[in-house]
Amino acid sequence: MAAATAMAMAMLAALAILVLVPSARGLNRAEFPPGFLFGVATSAYQVEGAYLEDGKGLSNWDFFTHTNSRGIDDGRNGDVADDHYHRYMEDVEIIHSLGVNSYRFSISWARILPRGRLGGVNSAGIDFYDRLIAAVVQKGIEPFVTLHHFDLPHEMETRYGGWLGAGIRYVQLLLLRLYFVSLFDEIGREPALHRQKQQEKPFPREEFDYYADVCFKAFGDRVKFWATFNEPNLFTRLAYVLGKYPPARCSAPFGTCDSGNSHREPYVAAHNMLLSHAAAVHNYKKNYQATQGGSIGIVIAMKWYEPLTNTTEDILAARRALSFEVDWFLEPIFFGDYPREMHELLASNLPKFTSEEKSLLQKNKADFIGVNHYTTIYVKDCISSPCDLNTYEAYEGNALVLATGERDGVAIGKPTAFDGYYVVPEGMEQIVKYVNQRYTNTPVYVTENGYSQYSNNTMDELMNDGERVNYLQGYLTFLSSAIRKGANVRGYFVWSIIDNFEWTFGFTVRFGLYHVDYETQKRTPKMSAKWYRDFLMGSRPTDQVQTLRADS
């Protein structure tokens, strides 16, 4: 009976896809609006390498991967990564060869300000990004720059306690001082761990605003798209709920960290990030936007959530999951306060905005919303019925929902190499429409969308990545459908141009359109790179992708 039920569900799912999927035949660039940005994306720590070169300071990820290698699936780090710091010209050439008109990348805060605003600006860091931006612009490609993509100077953690805004007694860091002494001798400075104060200190939003200001001054004449933060909702969850990202703080039942409070700290960190975002946006709009002519926004990680059943409880649970993931950051930015559902469920664990802070947020709305969308999952209500919430899969922002990729034993879509991510193209249309309707038609850029492979696949499987081609085609088809129905979407970026260091997954998964041999750093285009190039140049009907191979 169970097998028959599963088969019936699979048939219904297949039928639904046949009915719901817009036709991909003939999908081409011309279907998208004039001026639409098509691009590729990377982030600093994942590709740059050169982690202590030319005056760069240690970042939180440098410290974390060197002292907690067990937290990385393959025990490796981003010290070299894709060596983009030395190979950026080669990478700009391959980006240009695809025919894209935009390149999204992030700036390493620790490369610009190795010790924050108290340590001075690193001119070599400014010079690197100046050369990178110049190379991109010279190719007619629009730079789309993120200021914080999970990394910040490690000294921000030791001095302020990072985004928690309190001086944490990092006494244990003293025990690690000998491990790093040669590194600090090499760059000619001391981490000053012995000088750490015991009293609490607020994390001044001026630190982020100062960093942003340095970037606006140095690069704003050529950068017309700024994102303050990349996926702060995901970062705070992984860093302060599950303890998977630095500073690795959590509490039971979500993890076994040395310290932390998974029920409160993610919201404190998010609160400080929101106020830092608002300060930077205020600065840009007041002092730079009129003369530089750019725009500034924020990038949020966004799944689409489907109710596990058609009960009212599960339908409300899906809506609640969106509030705790998407609206957590966007409602304060656009309306000045957190969603009602968060106030009701979190009570005193949710920080309060002062009237002045609400005014700062509302008067400095984002010019655009960046949507990082990869997958769709089911959610089940856990208010009216009991759930086991003691698992990673179950946790969706203390929203009291159970998240799952299966219903009656049938997966919501084809699983990928990235744990918990499934191929569900129709979710792209749903999430884009949700954001546009809720946030008054604010311009949207799909700032990340991509497909992961296991690194231990055969070389033929890695290079002839038809599943990635199908993924991109499917998601672009539903994005095109959303635009035809009125969604104000202005750009789309594939994650990523090259295989890279994928955070706690290390080098065990690959998202790139280009394969990277990490021993030689050779970049080789996969089938998907050729498909994306042909799609952008309008030279191949999308229903002929089965004839395309990486070696063709």
The domain locations on the chain are 35-305+422-547, 306-372+376-415
pLDDT at residue 395, as a whole number:
56
Helix (H, G, I), strand (E, B) or coil at 64: helix
Q: Please give the backbone phi and psi of residue 97, each rounded to the nearest 5 degrees, phi first.
A: -65, -20
Helix (H, G, I), strand (E, B) or coil at 363: helix
Q: Six-digit token pair at 25?
A: 């035949």
DSSP letter for each residue of 182-222 = HHHHHHT----GGG--SS-----HHHHHHHHHHHHHHHTTT
Of 551 and 513, more confident: 513
Residue with tokens 């799909």: 446
DSSP 326: I
Neighbouring residues of 271: CB distance < 8 A, sequence distance ≥ 6: 351, 353
pLDDT at residue 394, as a whole number:
57
Judge whether 372 and 325 are in contact, CB under 8 Å: no
HSE-up of 261 (CA within 13 Å, CB side)? Answer: 9
Query: Cα(548)–Cα(463) distance, rounded to whole angstroms?
Result: 11
Rounded mean pLDDT, 438-454? 98
Rounded to an integer, what is the distance from CA 186 to the centroid of its chain? Answer: 32
Q: Is 231 a catalytic residue?
A: yes
User: Of 515, 400, 503, 505, nearest to 462 (Cα)?
Assistant: 515
Judge whether 406 and 6 are in contact, CB under 8 Å: no
Judge whether 246 and 318 are in contact, CB under 8 Å: no
Query: Cα(161)–Cα(105) distance, rounded to whole angstroms?
Result: 26
DSSP 494: E
Judge whether 467 and 451 are in contact, CB under 8 Å: yes
From 155, 157, 231, 467, the catalytic residue: 231
Rounded mean pLDDT, 64-90? 98
pLDDT at residue 22, as a whole number:
53
Predicted confidence (pLDDT) per residue in 228-277, tens digit: 999 999 999 999 999 999 999 999 888 899 999 999 999 999 999 999 99
CATH of 35-305+422-547, one of 3.40.50.2300, 3.40.50.980, 3.20.20.80, 3.40.47.10: 3.20.20.80
Q: Is 142 a catalytic residue?
A: no
DSSP 57: P
Query: Cα(20)–Cα(42) distance, rounded to whole angstroms?
Result: 32
Residue 136 burial by Cβ neighbours in a 10 Å radius (0-12, 13-18, 19+): buried
Query: Cα(296)–Cα(288) distance, rounded to whole angstroms?
Result: 11
The answer, yes or no, to whether residue 172 has pLDDT greater than 90, is: no
pLDDT at residue 186, as a whole number:
44
From residue 480, alpha-carbon distances to 163, 208, 433, 446 in Å are: 38, 36, 12, 12
pLDDT at residue 388, as a whole number:
74
Q: ∠ CA 74-75-79 to the nearest 5 degrees? A: 110
Neighbouring residues of 157: CB distance < 8 A, sequence distance ≥ 6: 60, 63, 168, 170, 246, 247
Phi and psi based region of residue 111 (left: phi greater than 0; alpha: psi -120 to 50; beta: remaining): alpha
DSSP 250: B
Q: Six-digit token pair at 252?
A: 């039971």
pLDDT at residue 10, as a whole number:
41
Judge whether 379 and 318 are in contact, CB under 8 Å: yes
Q: Are strands 410-411 and 406-407 parallel, antiparallel or unpaired?
A: antiparallel
12-16, 302-306, 512-516: lowest mean pLDDT where?
12-16
Number of residues in the chain:
552
Judge whether 379 and 386 are in contact, CB under 8 Å: no
Predicted confidence (pLDDT) per residue in 20-44, tens digit: 445 545 688 999 999 999 999 999 9
From 157, 331, 341, 448, the catalytic residue: 448
Query: Cα(146)–Cα(397) distance, rounded to whole angstroms?
Result: 24
Predicted confidence (pLDDT) per residue in 49-60, tens digit: 999 999 999 999
Predicted confidence (pLDDT) per residue in 375-401, tens digit: 999 999 999 988 876 554 455 668 999
